[in-house]
Amino acid sequence: MVKSYESVYNKYNDDCKTKEILEIVDKNAIIVIFDLKGRITHANKKCCSHTGYNKEFLLGRSYKLFFNEIAIEDDLKVIQETLSNKEEWEGILKNKYNDGSTYWMLINLYPMMTKNNRIKHYVCYCVDFTSNINQQNHIALQNTYDNLTGLYKGNLLDKTLLANEENRTNSSLILIDILNFSDVNTFYGMSKGNEVLKQVAMNLQTNFTEAKIFRIQGNSFALLVKEKQVILPSNNQLNKLIKKILTMFDFAFIVDNDEINLTVTLGVTGGHINLFKKAISALVEAKSLNLNYIINDEELTNKLTNINNEKKNLTNVLNKAIRENTIVPYYQPILCNDTNKIVKYECLARIVTEDMKEYMPNDFIELSKRIRKYEHITRTIIEKSFKYFEHKNVKFSINLSIEDIINKNTREFIYKKLNNYKKPYNVIFEILEDENLFNHEKAFKDFVVEVKKIGCEIAIDDFGTGFSNFGNLMSMEIDYIKIDGSIISKIDDENVYKILKNIVLLAQDLKVKTIAEFVSSEKLLEQVSELGIHFSQGWEIGKPNKELICK
């Protein structure tokens, strides 16, 4: 824009249209001319009207009147050197109006030359840039502060921790996670949930002025406190800080007369290296152990590192097993206590590696759910078990969870396999009894009705582990209940024996057959037989094997 003005200025006497263009420029831009000593020799009307200075006041004044808000003297030197080299300088500077208030200018400064290529004077062409700066500041504020709570945003925590790590600045980091906050939104509504979060933020700011406070995400916050030394679990100040945070959540948050109670878990660590990773590890560990908080010191870091490495290795093993189709069923025999003959088998998933290492379901089933590979394992065991028993006239059971039953793809896969299978009457589905089973009672009942229509049988696995409900079982067509091994193993306890006896009697009344799990000795086998339990399963009868064990 400045160069075009200079070009127009040079052709002023040759082009009649130039005058009109200059008038437009003069009306919309601040134009000031300085002599070689930096004194103002010209100021247009726009300059006077915009700054509040009259022309008489400006003429003869120093250029510093327009550069009085330069941050450092070095900036001024850069401008002077640029102009001395006969080059244009462009930049954004802050200036003051006549009344003392400030504004921002987008400035082009350039030297005007004589025919002999000497500097004649300097032209300053400016436009008001204040609205642009205000918008940039607004954007900067949005990027810095959380809109709801006014706390620092979580992305700034990453930058702060990185800077602390580079500068070796020790800090203690406390992550605060409000548990089950979705329930607050569900019961009271989003607006009240947001009001609670604002109150939490305000309380944290009021009570922990020594800390930088961040809202990491929805219901998670972080406190960062600079320390002179590495934080250890024995640090009294840190323990006081933790207690103060937990005490804050002992009291209900009141929103429109509703008292809303919150429960939190804290992950705590200290030092300057990998603080966020260590604090998250402590938080996850505290949640898994149902503790209020855990401090991640060096000992815990090593422990969690080992656990994480094991999980990584196991994930690799599982993914490789899926790729190479090495997830296989092993078959554990089930004995009829009346005839002393093996009459059925349970199909149990195994991963067998190249070096013949075997991984049990407890090693990888929960992991498979987390990484969304569980459906593949269920399908694989069904596919391979059906094929294995296709030409064998013996019953076999396959484990299903409620997740399998409510998964439409898995459910339809099962129905299709059963409808194409020649001996569906040999198939038993073992459904794990847990708190989720009867939370999806309709889906469970519909599944039971459907597979029994085809000819299958249903067993409830791990019966007696705390969720047992004969009332629910009475309303379903259950064929077997498998009594959990933790009860069977305590059969010598008088009270446990009575419980077992009652389970057997009730099952008989319901015409449901019973299977004892974890029968590990001849004595235990005799005891469960004497109780009237129909079948036994455990190492006394036979371990799971890739081939059938016959007795």
CATH number for the domain including 468?
3.20.20.450
Is 481 a residue whose pLDDT tops 90? Answer: yes
Q: Which distant-in-sequence residues (6+ apart) come within 8 Å of 146 by Cβ?
A: 152, 153, 201, 215
Both 343 and 219 in one domain: the answer is no
User: CA–CA separation, 517 vs 515, rounded Å?
Assistant: 6
Q: Which residue has the higher pLDDT, 467 or 197?
A: 197
Q: How many CB atoms lie within 10 A of CB 89?
A: 18
* Number of structural domains the chain divides into: 3
Both 41 and 106 in one domain: the answer is yes
Residue 549 lies inside a defined structural domain of this protein: no
Say which residue the tokens 């006969």 belong to. 86
Both 54 and 149 in one domain: the answer is no
pLDDT tens readout for residues 288-303: 888 899 888 766 666 6
Is 512 a residue whose pLDDT tops 80? Answer: yes
Both 276 and 339 in one domain: the answer is no
Q: Which residues does residue 334 pair with via DSSP β-bridges, in sequence order?
A: 344
CATH number for the domain including 279?
3.30.70.270
pLDDT score, position 137: 63
Residue 303 lies inside a defined structural domain of this protein: no
Both 116 and 249 in one domain: the answer is no
Both 49 and 92 in one domain: the answer is yes
Both 374 and 404 in one domain: the answer is yes
Is 131 a residue whose pLDDT tops 60? Answer: yes
**What phi, psi does 371 have (nearest 5°)?**
-100, 15
Residue 544 lies inside a defined structural domain of this protein: no
CATH number for the domain including 65?
3.30.450.20
pLDDT tens readout for residues 9-28: 454 444 445 566 667 777 77
Boundary-marking domain end, from 265, 296, 327: 296
Say which residue the tokens 């249209």 belong to. 17
Express as a percent the part of the chain with pLDDT over 70: 87
DSSP state, 220? Answer: E
User: CA–CA separation, 64 vs 99, rounded Å?
Assistant: 17
pLDDT score, position 469: 58
Q: Which domain holds residue 502?
A: 312-536
Both 128 and 155 in one domain: the answer is no
pLDDT tens readout for residues 221-231: 999 988 654 44
Residue 546 lies inside a defined structural domain of this protein: no
pTM of the model: 0.57
pLDDT tens readout for residues 263-279: 999 999 888 888 998 89
Query: N- to C-terminal Cα distance for the chain?
Result: 98
Mean pLDDT of the chain: 85
Residue 305 lies inside a defined structural domain of this protein: no
Boundary-marking domain end, from 296, 326, 360: 296
Both 522 and 374 in one domain: the answer is yes
pLDDT tens readout for residues 195-204: 999 999 999 9
Express as a percent the part of the chain with pLDDT over 90: 40
Both 236 and 283 in one domain: the answer is yes
Distances (CA, A) of 421 to 86, 413, 426, 547: 91, 12, 10, 21
Boundary-marking domain end, from 135, 163, 196: 135
Residue 189 lies inside a defined structural domain of this protein: yes
> What is the DSSP track for 346-411?
EEEEEEE-TT--EE-HHHHHHHHHHTT-HHHHHHHHHHHHHHHTTT--SEEEEEE-HHHHH-HHHH
Both 376 and 516 in one domain: the answer is yes
Is 1 a residue whose pLDDT tops 60? Answer: no
| Token pair belonging to 332 | 């554990």
Residue 216 lies inside a defined structural domain of this protein: yes
> What is the DSSP track for 302-341?
HHHHHHHHHHHHHHHHHHHHHHHT-EEEEEEEEEETTTTE
pLDDT band of 434, cuts 50, 70, 90: confident
Say which residue the tokens 């090593």 belong to. 302
Both 361 and 493 in one domain: the answer is yes
Residue 140 lies inside a defined structural domain of this protein: no
| Token pair belonging to 537 | 């399963």
pLDDT score, position 510: 86
